[in-house]
């Protein structure tokens, strides 16, 4: 969950940036962000291919199930109980494979969402330049401190809101440009301020869902 209040959302963005920067320092490579971005991008593409393949196989299995059902009905109509049993067995096996493929589609979809979220954060930092100059600290062999820029934090906030499943905010905060600029809306908008139901502010969140 994410609260659209500067002090909370900004802190979450700073924490996300700090976590990435810790990985940069641990790697000891200035090109870490670019390399990690490309690695996640490749893994994302792989997961998308697996998801597509599983989806295609699932469609094939659904077709196979329907064929088995027709064969079973035809066999029963002609009193061919042996064929009916074989068709029922084939249908059972196809349904089992379909269930496994549906789980694979769900798992790969979750992986895709995870990789897309990480790519978004990395992209927000690598595009705006994250490696500090260091100056005297770098010359002395000390890892220089890094403070994310305003632009980087704003981009991270946008990314965090995009991947959030739930967003908690007041009605007035629902008019925040960070929410209004998000593509799409929400499946559900819940009002927890019944005493204000007659106020015009209740119209603000309705645009989201």
Would the pLDDT of 73 be above 60? yes
Task: Give the distance from CA 37 to its chain's centroid.
Answer: 16
Burial class (CB in 10 A: 0-12, 13-18, 19+), 17: buried
Which tens digits make up the pLDDT trace of 15-42? 777 777 777 777 766 677 788 888 888 9
pTM of the model: 0.61
The mean pLDDT of the chain is 76
What pLDDT was estimated at residue 170? 72
pLDDT band for 6, please (50, 70, 90 cuts): low
- In this prediction, residue 45 carries a pLDDT of 92
- Looking at residues 149-162, what average pLDDT do you find? 78
φ, ψ for residue 189 (rounded to 5)? -120, 120
Encoded tokens for 6: 């500067």
Report strand pairing: 167-168 vs 2-3.
Answer: parallel
Q: Looking at mean pLDDT, say which of 13-27, 53-67, 150-164 comes out highest.
A: 53-67
Of the candidates 61, 137, 45, the one whose C-alpha atom is nearest the C-alpha of residue 98 is 61
* Residue of 79 and 191 predicted with greater confidence: 79
Percent residues over pLDDT 90 in the chain: 7
Q: DSSP secondary structure string, 81-126?
A: HHHHHHHHHHHHHHHHHHHHHHHHHHHHHHHHHHHHHHHHHHHHHH
Write out the two tokens for 3. Answer: 């609260």
């Amino acid at each position: 969950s994410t609260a659209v209040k500067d002090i909370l959302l900004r802190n979450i963005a700073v924490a996300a940036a700090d976590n990435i920067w810790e990985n940069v320092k641990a790697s000891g490579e200035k090109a870490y962000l670019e390399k990690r971005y490309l690695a996640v991008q490749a893994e994302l593409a792989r997961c998308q291919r697996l998801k597509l393949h599983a989806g295609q196989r699932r469609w094939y299995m659904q077709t196979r199930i329907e064929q088995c059902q027709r064969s079973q009905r035809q066999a029963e109509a002609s009193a061919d109980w042996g064929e009916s049993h074989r068709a029922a067995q084939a249908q059972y096996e196809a349904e089992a494979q379909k269930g496994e493929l549906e789980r694979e589609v769900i798992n790969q979809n979750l992986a895709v969402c995870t990789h897309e979220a990480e790519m978004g954060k990395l992209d927000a930092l690598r595009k705006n330049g994250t490696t500090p100059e260091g100056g005297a600290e770098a010359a002395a062999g000390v890892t220089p401190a890094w403070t994310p820029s305003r632009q980087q934090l704003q981009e991270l906030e946008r990314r965090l809101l995009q991947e959030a499943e739930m967003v908690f905010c007041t009605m007035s905060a629902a008019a925040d440009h960070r929410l209004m600029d998000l593509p799409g809306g929400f499946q559900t908008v819940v009002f927890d301020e019944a005493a204000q139901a007659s106020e015009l502010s209740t119209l603000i969140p309705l645009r989201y869902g």
